[in-house]
Amino acid sequence: MSLRTAFTSVALASVVVAAGCQPPPAETPKDAPPAATPPKKTDAPMANDIPAPADVAAAPADAAKTASGLASKVLKAGTGTAKPGPEDTVEVHYSGWTTDGKMFDSSVKRGKTTSFPLNAVIKGWTEGLQLMTEGETRRLWIPEELAYGGRPGKPAGMLVFDVELVKITAMPKTPEDVAAIPASAKKTKTGLAYRVIKEGPGGAMPTAADTVEVHYAGWTLDGKMFDTSYKRGQTAKFPLGGVIPGWTEGLQLMKVGDTYRFWIPGNLAYGDVPSRPGAPAGMLVFDVELIQIMK
């Protein structure tokens, strides 16, 4: 049984794309670890199951325990020092068993890693993976209250996972100057403000007729992130003439490899009182990395 994630993220189409111009939506991972609402459990074993660990029935005495009751044991040390935060996206390989040794899910068996925001899965995963570093493999004994809480149709009781943390994609931090345009920012005639965060090697600049590939994050002035391509674990590609005016104008100032911060007034975004339901209001702040111009 594959426990597919129930999390959803705000697609670029609902954030920066102008009405009537919809790029392909960001794909939801086909295979993902246990979320709050997985499909119904089946008692049929997975063909060619990975054998359960010898200590699957209970956490051994040498396992470390947290205050929540989560137990874990390092099977292979990591290669880095950084650990993911609760809002970061992680790429993992994993297998999961019930305490009677039945496997109910495994990305290893599917032969494909999976990526997901760490705050979008069961509590035991959110807590447990924050203990890990890249390259580390850890066994987690997750008590029922940190898993599915005994809900009908879900894997019951304590669950045991072997998890390899392949990669951490850190979420962008809220800019220190998000609340107001700093004096160091440059302004265009339209009221768009910007400053260079990182200069690339130089080269071509896009036109409104080009399609661009970017990584980005967007905040309202109170510091709340409302969208980011990093959370989806993939860049965004779109025609530059089909997005909000602040993006169309601002990205034409950039060269490939540049990262800019933009303060986009409401009239160049969705308005101070947006007509589109759910659109963020007023001035918006974006950090944008221009990765590629696609002619």
Residue 142 annotated among the catalytic residues of the structure? no
Query: Looking at 88, 105, 227, 258, which residue is catalytic?
Result: 105
181 among known catalytic residues: no
Position of tokens 């009677």?
Answer: 100
Catalytic residue (choose from 116, 148, 260, 262): 148
Where b means 16+ CB within 10 Å and e means fewer, 199-226 reads eeeeeeebeeebbbbbbbbbbbeeeebe
- H or E stretch covering 91: strand 89-98
- Active site (annotated) includes residue 293: no
Catalytic residue among 88, 94, 142, 286: 94
Residues 6+ apart with CB under 8 A from 167: 90, 91, 115, 134
Task: Give the burial class of 84: count Cβ atoms within 10 A of its Cβ; 0-12 exposed, 13-18 middle, 19 or more buried.
Answer: buried
For 101-232, strand residue ranges (E) read 103-106, 114-117, 137-142, 159-169, 186-187, 193-198, 211-220, 225-228
148 is catalytic: yes
55 carries an active-site annotation: no
Cα 132 to its chain centre, rounded Å, is 17
Question: Residue 154: which of 141, 145, 167 has the closest Cα?
Answer: 145
In sequence order, which residues have a C-beta less than 8 Å from that of residue 182 and are 6 or more positions away?
Answer: 195
Q: Identify the burial level of 19 via C-beta atoms within 10 angstroms of its C-beta, where 0-12 means exposed, 13-18 middle and 19 or more buried.
A: exposed
Which of 139, 196, 133, 128 has its CA nearest to residue 163? Answer: 139
The CA angle 288-5-149, to the nearest 5 degrees, is 130
Cα gap 77→162, rounded to integer Å: 13
Instruction: Choose the catalytic residue: 88, 116, 142, 161.
Output: 161
Amino acid code (one letter) for 175: P
Q: Single out the catalytic residue among 116, 122, 194, 264.
A: 122
Residues with active-site annotation: 94, 104-105, 122, 148, 161
